[in-house]
Amino acid sequence: MSRLLGGTLERVCKAVLLLCLLHFLVAVILYFDVYAQHLAFFSRFSARGTARALHPAASSSTNCSRPNTTAPSSGLAEAPSVRPGSTAPILPPCPDSPPGLVGRLLIEFTSPMPLERVQRENPGVLLGGRYTPPDCTPAQTVAVIIPFRHREHHLRYWLHYLHPILRRQRLRYGIYVINQHGEDTFNRAKLLNVGFLEALKEDATYDCFIFSDVDLVPMDDRNLYHCGDQPRHFAIAVDKFGFRLPYAGYFGGVSGLSKAQFLRINGFPNEYWGWGGEDDDIFNRISLSGMKISRPDIRIGRYRMIKHDRDKHNEPNPQRFTKIQNTILTMKQDGIGSVRYQVLEVSRQPLFTNITVDIGRPPSWPPRG
């Protein structure tokens, strides 16, 4: 009987001992679990404090600015942000046929066109009329040169239509308005020579030059404003001429030459004061230099002209026909190498760079008849 009672007491003691051991193990497990949770909590709190110390603006609930972003404009891709000290991303080459072109455009000159509106429509254009595509690397840097005087009304329409066109064409470009000072006879070709030289002074990387009258607006954005292997004539179908080329040697309105091509023909003639003749002289220079003029398809090279009254100081040059016949004799002496002028003012506007110049006075013509 005593042996049976002793065996029962031994089993009860073992059971109690096991129960105590189990309780101890559970307590140890719970202790370490709570300790781990507290450690994680304080680690997170410490990390937040460090982040706030390093970037106080980022932790503020009232400051939601993103300093390294650029505002997208007209559906173009946003430029990738670059952190200070990091390497700028390498962008792919711009496509030869940009995907965002519209094609045939509706061009009208009746709606009011204040410069403030044009500026709002082109937020990606920098001061001076400079623009670079944010999503690709263009093959050329294009300077658009406009001979100018007393055509502010035309300029607003030109900027309104051309900036979006050039941006859709993925061009790296700058707009230069070469303003002739004074009221003497206008000299378009000499102003174009001045524009070529002054644009290169601002940016020596320009390798393509588009020479455009301020009253001509393209009606199709597939007429790409870039330079090729040959000088290019863009405005081949103007509404003024019934959307056809007026004659085979016509090279007026809007044309483009690379830097090498322009220097090869010694630029444009400087002695065509008044209306007419300089375009034919340029055509002769290109032919004498062994180059041929390229043109877009006539359906793409359509332009609308803004109607205006002819400037009374832009009368026809009475000696233009004689000069055209002597291009082979005057080409080497009269051109970019002999142009003389004085820059009076350079003003970088939000949409273009205005360069006012004094190009001198025309010679006294002998009386007619």
pLDDT at 71: 33
**Residue length, the chain?**
369
How far is residue 51's CA from residue 134's CA, in Å, rounded to a whole number? Answer: 32
198, 279, 280, 281: which one is catalytic? 279
How far is residue 135's CA from residue 122's CA, in Å, rounded to a whole number? Answer: 16
Cβ proximity of 213 and 158 under 8 Å: no
Helical segments of 55-123, H only: 115-121
Per-domain boundaries in the chain: 125-358
Strand partners, 238: 303
151, 188, 213, 331: which one is catalytic? 213
Q: Which amino acid is at 152?
A: E
275 is catalytic: yes
278 is catalytic: yes
Tokens of 277: 């003749």
pLDDT at 324: 86
Beta strands at 237-238 and 302-305: parallel, antiparallel or unpaired = parallel
How far is residue 146's CA from residue 257's CA, in Å, rounded to a whole number? Answer: 14
279 is catalytic: yes
How far is residue 321's CA from residue 328's CA, in Å, rounded to a whole number? Answer: 14
Angle at 223 between CA 217 and CA 226, to 5 degrees: 105
What's the pTM value of the predicted model, to 2 decimals?
0.75
202, 275, 311, 358: which one is catalytic? 275
Full DSSP string of 126-178: BTTTBB--SSSB-S-EEEEEEEESS-HHHHHHHHHHHHHHHHHTT-EEEEEEE
104, 308, 340, 361: which one is catalytic? 308
How far is residue 338's CA from residue 332's CA, in Å, rounded to a whole number? Answer: 9
Cβ proximity of 89 and 80 under 8 Å: yes
pLDDT at 310: 60
How far is residue 245's CA from residue 73's CA, in Å, rounded to a whole number? Answer: 36
Chunked in runs of 10, what are the mean pLDDT values of the chain (369 residues)?
A: 59 70 60 45 40 36 30 40 60 93 95 93 95 96 97 96 97 98 94 98 97 97 97 96 91 97 97 88 95 95 85 62 85 95 97 98 64
How far is residue 1's CA from residue 116's CA, in Å, rounded to a whole number? Answer: 114
pLDDT at 75: 38
273 is catalytic: no
The SS3 of residue 263 is helix
213 is catalytic: yes
198, 278, 281, 334: which one is catalytic? 278
How far is residue 343's CA from residue 237's CA, in Å, rounded to a whole number? Answer: 35
135 is catalytic: no
Which CATH number is 125-358's, of 3.30.1780.10, 3.40.50.1370, 3.90.1150.10, 3.90.550.10?
A: 3.90.550.10
215, 221, 280, 334: which one is catalytic? 215
Q: What are phi and psi of 50, to 5 degrees?
A: -65, -40
Q: At what angle do helices 278-288 and 188-202 cross, to 10 degrees?
A: 60
pLDDT at 320: 72
Who's near 104: CB < 8 A, 6+ residues apart? 219, 220
Closest CA to 358 of 214, 187, 239, 166: 187
pLDDT at 24: 66
How far is residue 357's CA from residue 348's CA, in Å, rounded to a whole number? Answer: 15
pLDDT at 275: 79
305, 313, 315, 348: which one is catalytic? 305
Q: What are phi and psi of 258, to 5 degrees?
A: -70, 165
Burial of residue 255 (number of CB atoms within 10 Å: 0-12, 13-18, 19+) = buried
11, 120, 310, 368: which one is catalytic? 310
